[in-house]
Amino acid sequence: MRTKSIPNGEVLVKRSARAGLGARGEPQVWSLGGSLALGVLMIVGFLLLILWNGIVTFWPKPIEVLRLHDGRVIAGERTRSEIYRPRPDELARWSEEATGTVAGDGMAGRSLYRIANFDLYNEDFAWVSDYQIGSRTRDPDFYFVERTEWGPFVGKVAALHLDSQALDDVGKIVEVLPRELEAAAERRETLRTLERTELGNINRAFEELRLELRAVALKHGEQSEPYRKAQLDQREEIAELEARHQELAAEAQAVRGQDQKFELVLQDVNGTEKTLRLSDVVRLYPANRLGVFGKVGVYLSRWAEFLTSEPREANTEGGVMPAIFGTFAMTLLMVLFVAPFGVLAALYLSEYAKQGRIVSAVRVSVNNLAGVPSIVYGVFGLGFFAYLVGGGIDQWLFPERLPSPTFGTGGLLWASLTLALMTVPVVIVATEEALSAVPQSMREGSLACGASKWQTVRNIVLPRAMPGIMTGLILAMARGAGEVAPLMLVGVVKLAPDLPIDGVFPYVHLERSFMHLGFHIFDVGFQSRNSEAGKPMVFVTTLLLIAIVALMNAVAIVIRNRLKRRFATGHF
């Protein structure tokens, strides 16, 4: 750095053109920019990984028939391949020409095949090394059959039994099979409606009558006149329900007997036959003869099943509609609970509370609550909401249902309240920042015009702080929708037979357990009998959860931006 004197005695300082990069802060700028770019690349890479694996999950793959050097024959879909180092004792079992496929460094390739037929082989997947394979073909007569039980089946169609008619001509079977599958699906749906809906409603009515009678017994005693009168009043209704139950049970038995007359005989690659009811077939297609449009049709039908049906096969097959519904309902209830409490708490701390040590301590506590592990909130929700509050509600309103709890166990209501308690610090902090961003001059102008404190807050401060409040709610939604640990304690289950909202009075059942996409991912990835079978469902469910969270956030962001434009006025 050089200096130069001027006539009035001041000193002019000239910066050296050779000033170091550190003096100008460029290394820091580069490091910060590089860190940002690295973080963005990691996020984009993660999303691309989820997107690719989720999109290709339902695309049908060809069936390969492998003849191994030891005489075995395997058929299945190739799912993935890798390079590995075989053990010497493993190589010693194979002939010299078979081991010729091993590279000079001792590395060999192998592929994982989905051989299906779990009821025959007791396994879904098998690793096959390249040096084991004698030949690889794609037989056009092989079908991929998706079943309601035991997972998929890979093999050929051998025969079709239609009531009293038996078909063994494959050409004729292929011709009539689509029509018969549609009829079988209708029988399956009819039987499901009879057993789960009609008979379920009658069983529910029986249970309600039993609870009504028990309530009278608890209040007046079983030897009392009101109890005998209640028994007499229920006799006619019980008789009607029993008659209707017998009628529906006979109808279901008739449909089941008719359904058992329609059977499909399949044959695996080794010639072993497997007979199953036609109604147990969910989807069937010739994997090696599908064209582009055929593959697209199978792909779209699998997506439709995934989004609209219930899970099956321990959640590794079928759909996730109950989990979608449960995730959306829980997130919506959580926002309805957290928004008023978080905003009111922030309003009091920012606008009404006298600033001092107590308010500072409250703010520190709120910030610390945001860092508490989510499982702690789950334990608190189970102990306080479910056992204490819910147990009290059961004692007060549902004593006839005890010892079976109604609200005294996990459910949609307690899960929503637990997550609302977990995310309320985020809303409080965001709301306080939004309120403090409103210029003080606006408050003073409103008060100068004669408005009260509450009128100023309601008409001036809150509307202009609403975009910031929406930001807090967006953050709360994003965190709450993806939480799993607390939900495992306060209401989420592996499979919920009844939705929290249905057509049965009172229509909204906040005490019921529910399914959640986040727990579904955990269950399929870590609790299924075969991790390889559950891996595709993990990716596609993760993709769906990200899409739902992004959609809900996008709606909230659109509302926030509209509020910003509405109140984008100059300050005075």
> Tokens at residue 560, please?
């926030």
Number of domains in the chain: 3
In a domain, 143, yes or no: no
In a domain, 307, yes or no: no
pTM for the full model?
0.85
Q: Are 302 and 58 in contact (CB under 8 A)?
A: yes
Instruction: Using the 3D structure, point to which of 17, 37, 55 is the last residue of a domain.
Output: 55
Tokens 């975009």 sit at which residue?
467
What is residue 294's predicted lDDT score, i.e. its pLDDT?
A: 92
Rg (CA), the chain: 33
Among 480, 548, 482, 486, smallest CA distance to 521 is for 482
Residue 44: phi, psi to the nearest 5? -65, -40
* DSSP, residue by residue, 148-190: SSSS-EEEEEEEEEETTEEE--HHHHHHHHHHHHHHHHHHHHH
In a domain, 501, yes or no: yes
Domain identity same for 265 and 373: no
Range 289-294 contact pairs with CB under 8 angstroms and sequence separation of 24 or more = 289/140, 290/60
What is residue 570's predicted lDDT score, i.e. its pLDDT?
A: 46
Cα–Cα distance for residue pair 274/264, rounded to 1 Å: 8
In a domain, 147, yes or no: no
Helix spans in 348-373 (H) = 357-369
What is residue 23's predicted lDDT score, i.e. its pLDDT?
A: 57
Cα–Cα distance for residue pair 395/393, rounded to 1 Å: 5
Question: In 298-398, which ranges are E strands?
Answer: 311-312, 317-318
What is residue 556's predicted lDDT score, i.e. its pLDDT?
A: 82
Please report, to the nearest 10 degrees, the dihedral formed by the alpha carbons of residues 342, 344, 349, 350 taken in order: 100
Cα–Cα distance for residue pair 60/41, rounded to 1 Å: 31
In 3-state terms, the chain is what percent helix, strand and coil (to 5)? 60, 15, 25
In a domain, 70, yes or no: no
Domain identity same for 274 and 334: no
Contacts of residue 442, defined as CB under 8 A and 6 or more positions apart, other chains included, come to: 460, 461, 464, 571, 572
CA-based diameter of the chain, in Å?
Answer: 120
Domain identity same for 366 and 285: no
> Tokens at residue 463, please?
């509307």
Domain identity same for 448 and 337: yes
Instruction: Using the 3D structure, point to which of 246, 271, 289 is the last residue of a domain.
Output: 289
What is residue 154's predicted lDDT score, i.e. its pLDDT?
A: 94
Domain identity same for 339 and 234: no
Domain that holds residue 510: 324-566
Sequential pLDDT tens for the chain (572 residues): 555 555 555 554 555 555 565 555 577 788 888 888 998 999 899 889 999 988 999 999 999 999 998 889 999 999 988 888 887 777 676 655 555 566 556 788 899 999 989 989 988 899 998 888 888 999 999 999 999 988 899 999 999 998 878 888 888 888 888 899 999 999 999 999 998 889 988 998 999 999 999 998 888 888 888 889 988 988 989 999 999 999 999 999 999 999 999 999 999 999 999 999 999 999 999 999 999 999 999 999 999 999 999 888 878 888 899 999 999 899 999 999 999 999 999 998 888 888 888 888 888 888 888 888 889 999 999 999 999 999 999 999 898 888 889 899 989 999 999 999 999 998 998 898 888 888 888 888 888 888 888 888 888 888 888 888 888 888 888 888 888 889 889 988 888 877 887 777 777 888 889 999 999 998 888 877 777 778 888 899 999 999 988 888 888 888 888 877 776 654 44
In a domain, 312, yes or no: no
Which amino acid is it at 204? R
Domain identity same for 183 and 330: no
Give 354's DSSP letter: P
CATH number at residue 546: 1.10.3720.10
Instruction: Using the 3D structure, point to which of 268, 289, 310 is the last residue of a domain.
Output: 289
> Tokens at residue 432, please?
């306080």
Burial of 85 per CB tally in 10 Å (0-12, 13-18, 19+) = exposed
What is residue 571's predicted lDDT score, i.e. its pLDDT?
A: 43
Domain identity same for 408 and 530: yes
Among 471, 526, 525, 515, smallest CA distance to 493 is for 515
What is residue 382's predicted lDDT score, i.e. its pLDDT?
A: 92
Question: Using alpha carbons only, what angle is made at residue 419 by residues 492 and 463, rounded to the nearest 5 degrees?
Answer: 140
What is residue 572's predicted lDDT score, i.e. its pLDDT?
A: 40
Tokens 């040590």 sit at which residue?
357
Domain identity same for 201 and 340: no
Domain identity same for 330 and 406: yes
Among 103, 128, 149, 114, smallest CA distance to 279 is for 149
Domain identity same for 270 and 328: no
Which amino acid is it at 376? V
Give 388's DSSP letter: I
Among 313, 368, 389, 380, smallest CA distance to 153 is for 313
In a domain, 317, yes or no: no
Give 273's DSSP letter: E
Domain identity same for 560 and 435: yes
Which amino acid is it at 259? D
**Cα dihedral across residues 22, 24, 27, 31: positive or negative:** positive
Q: Give SS3 for 516.
A: coil
Q: Are 536 and 52 in contact (CB under 8 A)?
A: no
Cα–Cα distance for residue pair 316/118, rounded to 1 Å: 14
Among 292, 268, 309, smallest CA distance to 59 is for 292
Cα–Cα distance for residue pair 394/411, rounded to 1 Å: 13
Cα–Cα distance for residue pair 112/225, rounded to 1 Å: 72
Tokens 């509609």 sit at which residue?
321
In a domain, 473, yes or no: yes
Domain identity same for 269 and 418: no
> Tokens at residue 566, please?
């509405």
